[in-house]
Amino acid sequence: MALEIKITEKKSNVYLVALKGSIDVETYQELEEKLKRMINDQTKAVILDLGGVDYISSIGIKVVLWAKKALQAQNANFAMTNLQPQIKKVFDVMKILPIIDIFDDMPEADKYIDQVIKEEMNKKT
């Protein structure tokens, strides 16, 4: 199955990546390439909306973990939202969820990102 990737800049250098389909051996490279182009020293946060993802393989999880690590290395934030039960279970089984911020829906994720940006602005003043 194909993977649809829609990237929206929610705020300056804060990106929502809405995914639909499967993240597997056939689709992970496109996601990885788009994330690599998006993640730079100006990026403040990336939110992966997995509401439309019905399957994720180990290579897909590897891409997710790479993105988190790349963002963390530059003090940017990473979160996921709208995980389908079968996707959440994969992350649970692999014991990955405690290290990634997970939100039930976009309003909750937006509130988190607003707080992060506010804290970032306070650090600069």
pLDDT in tens, 50-93: 999 999 998 999 999 999 999 999 989 898 999 888 888 887 77
In Å, what is the CA distance from 84 to each residue of 60, 93, 117, 123? Answer: 15, 14, 27, 36
CATH code: domain of residue 61: 3.30.750.24
> Across the strands, what pairs with 106?
none
Instruction: Give the structural domain span for 25.
Output: 3-124
Tokens (6 digits) for 96: 């990955």
pLDDT digits (tens, 9 = 90+) for 4-58: 999 999 888 999 999 999 999 999 999 999 999 999 999 999 999 999 999 999 8
pLDDT digits (tens, 9 = 90+) for 89-125: 887 777 655 556 677 777 877 777 777 667 766 776 6
Number of domains forming the structure of the chain:
1
pLDDT the model gives residue 92: 77
